[in-house]
Structure 1
Amino acid sequence: MADRQGPAERVITSARRLLSNMIAMGETRLRLAVLELETERDRMLSLLLLAGAALITFSFAIGMLLLMLVVLYWEDHRLLAIGLCSAVLFIIAACLAYGAKRIAKRRRLMQSTLSHLAQDRQALGSSRESS
């Protein structure tokens, strides 16, 4: 009976403690990932709602401006006015699409979680090498 209480029991206790710590660390990282996903979801929803409202309002404003320009030049240069308005709109749309593409590439989802996991991997790697 004394053998069970000796080194073997201490190894099992240490292994249980190590497993418990690893599970707690994994749970912390999972909670961080969930928190980041929820934050990103809320940010994206707000962004989409505001962008949609701005897009609708901006579309009406541009439509009214174009209608005013076409009516203003109806007698003299109606086709030129319509063509120039269309060209300007295509150029603006291309610039906005390029800007949206740049913004979409810039954002990384769950960046904090990934950096913490990399730190954990390095810490575990250095402890393995020193053993």
Structure 2
Amino acid sequence: MESSQGPAQRLFGAGKRLLVSLLATGETRLRLAVLELEEERARLTTLLLIIGLSLVLLLLGLGVLTLLVAVIFWETHRLTAIGISAIVLLGGGVSLALIALRLARRPTLLKSTLAQLATDRQLVESTRDKPSP
């Protein structure tokens, strides 16, 4: 049987199919990366709003609480009450700052995209290493 295409045309067709496949794979990975970035942006915006509002409410609450403690102990131990309140507030602030730093160092950006690219690389390397029959 004769083929209607010569070797050069078949090679060109195979190269074209390979290029289309690579572009489709790249587009899929890019869409995944964009989706993850949009989700991360929405999560971060919500997180910042909640943190801002909670900080305002916590600061107002702590101010009123410190004032209440100082007023209760005004006649007997006002300096001790103010000092203990300050130590408790500073200790809480430092511990929350350490927790925030630990959470900020956790890598989450493009986690799924990076995992998928690593899987793709392993698949390519495993097919490249296999001897052809």
Measure, in 1, the Cα distance between the counterparts of 2:71 and 2:43: 42
AA partner of residue 52 (structure 2)? G
Measure, in 2, the Cα distance between the counterparts of 1:3 and 1:32: 41
Deviation at 1:5, TM superposition (A): 2.7
Q: Which residue of 2 aligns with 1:39?
A: 39
Q: Which residue of 2 aligns with 1:81?
A: 81
Q: Which residue of 2 aligns with 1:9?
A: 9
Bigger share in helix: 1
Deviation at 1:102, TM superposition (A): 2.1
Listed one character per residue, the Cα deviations across residues 84-105 of structure 1 (whole Å, up to 9, x for unaligned) are: 1111111111111121122223
Measure, in 2, the Cα distance between the counterparts of 1:107 and 1:45: 17
Measure, in 2, the Cα distance between the counterparts of 1:73 and 1:112: 56
Q: Which residue of 1 aligns with 2:23?
A: 23
- Residue segments in structure 2 that go unaligned for 5+ positions in a row: none
Tell me whether 44-53 or 92-101 shows the greater mean CA deviation: 92-101
Measure, in 2, the Cα distance between the counterparts of 1:16 and 1:31: 22
Q: Are residues 1:121 and 2:94 paired? A: no
SS in 2 for 1:55: helix
Listed one character per residue, the Cα deviations across residues 1-58 of structure 1 (whole Å, up to 9, x for unaligned) are: x999311110110011001100110010000000000000000100110111111011
Let me know the Cα RMSD of the aligned residues: 1.8
Measure, in 2, the Cα distance between the counterparts of 1:85 and 1:120: 56
Tell me whether 61-70 or 120-129 shows the greater mean CA deviation: 120-129
- Residue segments in structure 1 that go unaligned for 5+ positions in a row: none
Measure, in 2, the Cα distance between the counterparts of 1:8 and 1:123: 28
Q: Which residue of 2 aligns with 1:63?
A: 63
